[in-house]
Amino acid sequence: APDFRLKDLNGNVIKLSDLRGRVVVLDFWSTWSATCKAAFAHLQKVEERYRDYRTVAFLAINTSESAVGAARDSLVKKFIDEGKFTFQVAFDEGSVVAQQYGIEGIPTRLVIDKNGKIQIKSAGFGDGNALVNDLMMQIEVLLKQ
């Protein structure tokens, strides 16, 4: 998986290479997407399940947002706070990382193994229970490798 440097809600820089050795779930999303909103509640369940695992990391990458700069930051923070979501959020300025990863629509989730290789790419959202079960199964398989 291509390395990236993104800023989170607090202005901290996140580098994918710093997460090497962990199973990493990347979720590309935007506040204007109803599908992303629907998927987030289910992703939250998976994040809660693995919150105490040092070997699993979740990163919700905000991309293709309708606002920029401080307006975007405020919009995203409000969205996260209102939903009581606890996963780390990063900003993909100009959708550079989404383009690097070939993201064609949102939501799109990537699951990256401990060696930094993309193992699963899943676009869209249909059934919440299926999302939770599939993602947990994928994480479990990769944790055993």
pLDDT at 64: 92
Summarize pLDDT for 81-107 with one digit per residue, the tens.
999 999 899 999 999 999 999 999 999
What pTM was estimated for this model as a whole? 0.95
Q: Where are the domains of the chain?
A: 5-143
C-alpha torsion angle, residues 127, 133, 135, 137 (rounded to 10) = -150
Residue 112 in tokens: 């990256």
pLDDT at 66: 87
pLDDT of residue 28: 98
pLDDT at 13 (0 to 100): 97
DSSP string for residues in 22-55: SEEEEEEE-TT-HHHHHHHHHHHHHHHHHTT-TT
Q: Kindly tell me if the per-residue pLDDT of 29 is higher than 90.
A: yes
Average confidence (pLDDT) over 108-136: 94
Give CATH superfamily name and number for 5-143: Glutaredoxin (3.40.30.10)
Phi, psi of 68 (to 5 degrees): -130, 165
Task: Please say whether the beta carbons of 62 and 89 come within 8 A.
Answer: yes
